[in-house]
Amino acid sequence: MSKENAFIIRPGHGQQLGANFDGKGVNFALFSAHAERVELCLFDPSGKTEIARLELPEYTDEIWHGYVPDLQPGALYGYRVYGPYDPENGHRFNPNKLLIDPYARELEGDVEWNDAHFGYELGHEESDLSFDSRDSAPYTPKCKVIDPDAFDWQGENRPNVPWPKTVIYETHVKGFTRLNPALPQELRGTFEGLGHQASVDYIKSLGITSVELLPVHWFPDDQHLLDRGLKNFWGYNTLGFFAPASRYYGPEGIAGFRNMVRAFHDAGIEVILDVVYNHTAEGNELGPTLSFKGIDNFSYYRTMPDQHRYYINDTGTGNTVNTSHPRVLQMVMDSLRYWAQSMHVDGFRFDLGTILGREPEGFDPRGGFFDAVTQDPVLSKLKLIGEPWDIGPGGYQVGGFPPGWGEWNDKYRDTVREYWKGDNVSNDFAARLLGSGDLYDLRGRRPWSSVNFITAHDGFTLNDLVSYNEKHNEANGEDNNDGHNDNRSCNYGEEGPTENQDIIAVRERQKRNFLATLFFSHGTPMLLAGDEFGRSQQGNNNGYCQDSEISWFNWEAQSERDRALRDFTQHLIALRAEQPLLRRESWRDGLEVRWFNAGGGLQQSEQWDEGSTLGLAISRPDLEKEEGIWHDVLMLFNPFEGDVPFQIPQFGEGGWVLELSTAEEKTDGAIITETIDFVLAGRSIALFRRP
């Protein structure tokens, strides 16, 4: 029997893109505005042998489509797309390249790097204007048809945590689980390992409401990393926007992802995905042809207006996804809805999110993508977080995203680091502490719009922020030239680990200061996973390629000090959850704010420029009647090395009780009812409440 006779193909329909099983067969639909014909290639279960090549018979509204009766979930496929090979006009069709369906829900196998992946002849004098006729199918992952109803969610149990009560925990599936002794060996490094009771219980015990995962969309390992014995660990290099990264599969395969989500939901914890719709893994004009480039390069990517051979590179990765094109925008929206509806994900953090708001004339908060999301009945209800910058012109947009969005606030990160280093940034520090109203009190946005963080995956961990003056990225193989140089960090006397007890004591106190500042600030706090117990990356501030002990959490090496820090973090998060004064919901809640100087008087305008020791009193008279709820809080901040006598201001009734100090393990609970000088220890925060 010849290949062609084994399967028949009918016209099918173009309404739903991708490979969709209807119980009797599979409908295939692929967008390409500039193709001349499309072949569907079917493969045997090994993915090695092509068993049929079927031309998609119909072309409707720029969508190629066909229906294969009797084809079942599990079938493996890819596409060959015919059209002009004309890079100078933005077209790179090459039917010798097997292409991944942009809508594939699952991918089988990995990219095995080979010269055949490139649409042109590598090393040819005409470079990417030449044409390569080698078949890439043996080296390309195969798309897999899935049964959308194969998983039983056992009812809807989404936590729906309100934004003002949200505490985000940024983590990595493999980094968190790979060395965790509480997990069975076969689950370490997998979705199921992260969804295991031991992982979920630990995260729950901290008081976390929302786990944010570094990218889990399917991504390859870059060839240049593999050549150096490294891997793409972070995953910001997507090839499949609908397919989970199979490298994190455990025994249950794709069901493991859903099991993980369900386990977090059962514990009342949301799952937020870090997603990368700004570029793909295909690189620039010299990159491989794996999917979009060979399907319709001119539609999927932003090319240079006068030279369509070259790509606009607002991402720094070689290409930029063209979300101005309606079908490309549709793909992004369909992908988000798929993760929200079929995978029950609760929200997204958009990497280089400014890109998504880019129109040909520049960033526009009323651009197509933002409009589409805002009116979407599914997506508009989820947590949407933008990373509000890219490297393109006008790329820095902190405070510029539309209503409904949260934003990573790097001004918060930088100012808080500077303040505790002893730089005089009191004005900025005051604004960041109170929710960055200068950025977010516009258009009805709320304090929660500011996602506050001290550290994130990109940069130093909290431990390394107080242990290193310089980055140490030698293991990345780029002569320590990669990663940020401007870390606003301090080692307090020795670079890296030390036996000096005085230095250790300062570092521990600074960690507590950073954490207390984070959880006592208005806005949405984001904790980098592992910071609660002082995780180190040995000074590496760019672990993107470190699938190694540098990035994996060392659970067994925790000291008494580390456990004390974890307990302190738990306490901070619990205080924040209990006390509305610490997690402001609205700019219009009647909050009274008073700033004091160390002499106990109200801070005068000239004093803001003189010194950084600050007293902040926040009050909500409307809370006075509520049992166990604070209506007055006084916070004292001293970023200097030496103690400062701070006169406790007396206003209101009842005096003050010291609730927490970052300089002491326990407080004596004494009530201060008169104007006295409180010794505010060097580099410390003191929190007072009414008795």
Query: Is 351 a catalytic site residue?
Result: yes
CA–CA–CA angle 657, 663, 664 (5° rounding): 65
What are the b/e assignments for 492-506, b being 16+ CB within 10 Å? beeeeeeeeeebbeb
Whose tokens are 């005068």? That residue is: 604
What would the two tokens of residue 147 be?
A: 């049964």
Name the DSSP letter for residue 220.
P
Which tokens sit at 361? 């004339």
Calculate the dihedral angle through the C-alpha atoms of 220, 350, 455, 318, rounding to the nearest 10 degrees.
50
List CB contacts of 253: < 8 A, sequence separation 6 or more: none
∠ at Cα 222 (344, 335), nearest 5°? 25
- Encoded tokens for 471: 């980055």
How many angstroms separate the CA atoms of 419 and 402, rounded? 29
> How far is Cα 142 from Cα 10, in angstroms, rounded to an integer?
22
Long-range contacts of 259-262 (CB under 8 A, 24+ apart): 259/191, 259/192, 259/195, 260/191, 260/192, 260/194, 260/195, 261/195, 261/343, 261/344, 261/345, 262/153, 262/154, 262/157, 262/195, 262/344
Rounded to an integer, what distance in angstroms lies between the CA atom of residue 143 and that of residue 218? 11
Active-site entry in 128, 221, 285, 387: 387
- Does the CA dihedral 186-188-192-193 come out positive or negative? positive
Q: Name the residue type at position 85.
A: Y
Report how far residue 630's alpha carbon sits from residue 624's, in angstroms, rounded to the nearest whole number.
Answer: 7
What 3-state class would DSSP assign to 210?
A: strand
Helices (H), 449-545: 462-465, 501-520
DSSP element (H, E) containing 334: helix 326-341
Q: Could you tell me how far CA 1 lies from the centroid of its own chain?
A: 50
Total number of residues shown for the chain: 691
Q: 108-130 burial, b for 16+ CB within 10 Å, e for fewer?
A: bbebebeebbbbbbeeeeeebeb
Q: Which of 50, 132, 346, 351 is catalytic?
A: 351
Identify the bridge partners of residue 41 per DSSP, sorted by sequence position: 53, 78
**Residue in the block written with tokens 């001004």:** 411
Q: Over the Cα atoms of the chain, what is R_g?
A: 27
Phi (first) and psi of residue 42, to 5 degrees:
-105, 145
What DSSP character marks residue 604?
P
Listed in sequence order, the DSSP H helices in 458-559 are 462-465, 501-520
Residue 258 structure tokens: 């859903």
- Strand intervals (E) in 463-555: 524-528
Calpha distance 237→420 (Å, rounded): 35
Is-contact 97 33, C-beta < 8 A? no
CA distance 401 to 387: 10
Run of H or E including 427: helix 426-433
**CB of 64 closer than 8 Å to CB of 30:** yes
In the annotation, is 549 catalytic? no
Residues 6+ apart with CB under 8 A from 412: 432, 436, 450, 452, 453, 521, 523
What amino acid positions are annotated as catalytic residues? 351, 387
